[in-house]
Structure 1
Amino acid sequence: MELKPVRDELAVIRESMNFINSQYETIVKRLDDLEKNMKSSINTKSELGSIKDHIDSAEVDNDKREPWVRRSNVEIFGIPERKGENLMQILRDVASKAEFSLDLSQDIDFVTRVVPKNNACIYDQEIFDSRYTVYRCDRDYETRGVHLGGGVLIALRRELQVYSFSTVLMPGAAAEAIKLCVNLKSSNKSERLNIFCGHFPHCPRHFDSLLHFFESVSDVIVNNPDDGYFILGDFNISSAQWTSTDHAPYMTNSTINGDHLVQALQGFISFTDLRQYNHIFNTKNRILDLVFSKRECLVAHCKEPLIDEDPHHPALDVILKSSSPQVLHSARRVVRLFHNANYDAINNDIASVEWQILLQGKDVDAAVATFYDLINNIISKHVPIKIFRHDTRYPSWFSRSLVKIIKEKLKYHKKWKIYGRRCDYDTFSLLRDLQKRVMRECYDKFIIDAEKRIKINSKYFWTFIKSKKYSSDLPETMFFDDETSGEGNNICSLFNSYFHSVFEPPVWQSFIPDYSCKWYKYHWQNSFQD
């Protein structure tokens, strides 16, 4: 009786094991089926890749053969597209410029525009020559669902050093904007200038694009407060009202209770402390193209635009003033070369002067003035002069031969950049090596001479040390009170006026001797006896 429960439990366990075995066999069968399907999928994928390659190749071949299917088909690139254009008239003008005889009624069946897939068909060289490097952001036609307009472009001279270039990604590709960081070098320092260029068309996401752009620029300014910033583009904020106050070179947003676009713009200007310098209104008395900078800009209406001008967007000429102040150049120093003077002629001129007749009836001051005038005239007549110009472009230890080598090197480097000739580059390379060798020789010679002269003339050494620590450049223009001058003599007069205004002349007190004083009598007697 006690074994019956055990038998029942074993029977249950046997049934469970049988179920597990059946399920395991089912899983193994499914895994085998999956492996077969995976192998089949891999083979199918490879076959699809091969088919896709064949289709791409067929499309390329079809594109190549398509022009031959059409009768006398001609495709012309690089002609700007405008609203309401007359393609027949454009073709007539092209044939006329090319001096090609064309009868539109007989030679041409029809003229149509081919919608490009993207702007890759417009090459940089079609717009600018080899002196410029082009940075651009084309409109995403597929995302926007359009096939015309849009995009921004900056053409930069190749001589300028670019730190970075990036595209400001906009939500929904509703606008285009790019950023360039350029190194600007002046005579005594270098500065990084961040250039932003954007195009914000009217669309449902206009506000989102502007807000994203303003936030991106603000982040860059906060992270790099010492850099320069130059922001320009078509912002299309038609509700903003711009006015100029107190003859300031920049414009002020005077909109009262503006819409959300104007509020975002005003918040951006207030946060970044930028100023808007475009004052050219369009035909509807609005300013849609804005120019922002912390540095003063000069904006004028461009008289010779690169393309036909849009009445809503006047072409602009913008000059960004340099942050480095112009320095006052030292006046030329005139030196008399007395060692080359004609002393025989000087002696003859002096000997021929009738002094009694020349100085007769003149007091001492007039006689001295006459004497100096005569001597100065003789010196000017017979003593040659040499003009020394103060040139701070090169260190004091540069020799004349080294300066000449540097100028020749720069000349051939410029030729190589313009014409791209190998011979110019080879000459430039040789002059560069020669400059390095001569520069080392000049510097070593200067160090040796400074060490030898330091006991005799220490000024030779310390002048070089001070030139490395300090800059003696003076501003080109100076002012005192209401007077402003940019000439050396007038600036000296301004300094004279300032020092005279702060100078207090000494008060002279008269001294009356007291003859009754015993000390005075004693001192007088001793002095008389001596």
Structure 2
Amino acid sequence: MLDSTNGYFNSEPEDHNSSISVYSGKNKECICSSEVGHVDAAPVENPSPPQVDTTIAINRPRRTRMLPSDDNMYAQLRIYYQNVRGLRTKIDELFVAATDVDYDVIVLTETWLNDQINSIQQLGPSYTIYRNDRDPSSTGKTRGGGVLIAVSNRLSSKRNTINNNGIEQLWVNIHIQDATICVGVVYLPPSSADDANVIQAHVDTALDITNSLEPNAVHLLFGDYKPGLIWKFTYSGCASPDPSESTFSRSSIALLDGMSILNMSQMCTVTNTRNRTLDLLFVNEEASKNCYIFEADEPLVDIDSHHPPLAVTQVCPQRISFDEILEDRSFNFSKADIPGLNNSLQNIDWLNLLNHAIDVDVAVDRFTLTLTDLFRVHVPAPSPRNKPPWSNRRLRQLKSWKAAALRHYTSRRNPFTKQEFIIASSNYKSYNRFLYSRHVSKTQSNLKRNPKSFWSFVNGKRKENGLPSSMFLADELESTPRDICDLFVKHFSSVFKKASACQLKLNAVFAMFLVMC
């Protein structure tokens, strides 16, 4: 039974609100995530409630004023990077964590994925996922390796077609108004990290990418390079190898020379438990002006001691404009006013509306716009759903406390504020893990009695609802709506007829439509 005394297991559904905090220091403002959840999503038969640690009291935070929405403000692209050391056993953990994060881009190395694992299982419907898994035919290995870049669906993105030269590397172009941000990632296994020829092949690919970019494009390249170098910050704001402590092998020299040719600087000095920096971030001159990197306060999955997670804020030269990919309103046709809609359809003079269209495209636009306007009048919008579906008031309260603790910690970094944040985060993660496990258990037990809930659970993990997010034609892969439409045009171009020929049949087609109505 649920304990209603303290409201800990209050399952009242509410809207899921995200929260962010602002870190200010050294004349820099960076948005720090307070969304990252870390869970163990394995379903249990009879889940027991976690105990909330109240060693340190955390008061309910007041509402904080967000940064003003000024057109002259710079947009901040928030990027998360981590070497995850395998996702095969952490798929549910990553999925639940992704429901809390608000990163624009997520970059992962050592994913250990293969073609039997669908991308839509990883981060849910909020991200478009690009992968380059390890190829057993070229490496002779069936596990390990692999890289992944996930871009928020609010941003327009496209995979950069390259020749990988047998290297696990990947580049994605993110389009922001008239500017481009290119995000790349590479994973070099220990057997290749010391091979100067592999490093040179990687640099050659990066050079091809650089040459394909616009002059003012921002280029960021993440990588698990293992160069054996000790990095220290310089007065220029970038990092350089310490000559007295670094080991300059042929591969590390090839890497430094190649990045020098590319005019890219290394920004990361975050060290692991052995005081080494294995994961690097190279940026071009345009990116280095406004690029800030920190160790992430919370990981998406368990941290490997050799690879601390990174949080990067790239300040863009202009405000981000999110593409409107989907219709701005959904319709709940199960509650539609069918008689009223039917009456409105019959009262429209379709022939007069469509007869004066100059071509088929204009006619279709008029037809679609007319139907949409009628839907807005006679069909209500669906009720907002819980995000995530297992969320409740108590979980969001714990999340709010965690966000307050994170703001406190980022503004006053000391052992007490760190412990305060750890406790708040642990409370949130434990309860989130419990709710998700209970949600999965209920879905499994109700499969026979309520199969609709099972399919709702499955669809909640899908990238799309019926329409694919990307499509192939021969060797071409497109992921944006316009490019997908162009693929259809190319495929059916042999049977297209000119608009003038189609216009002759337009009246007859819509006359048949009226008869059917």
Q: Which has the higher contact order (CA 8 A, sep 6+)?
A: 2
Fold agreement, TM-score > 0.5:
no
Q: Give the TM-score normalised by structure 1.
A: 0.39
Between Structure 1 and Structure 2, which shows a larger proportion of strand residues?
2
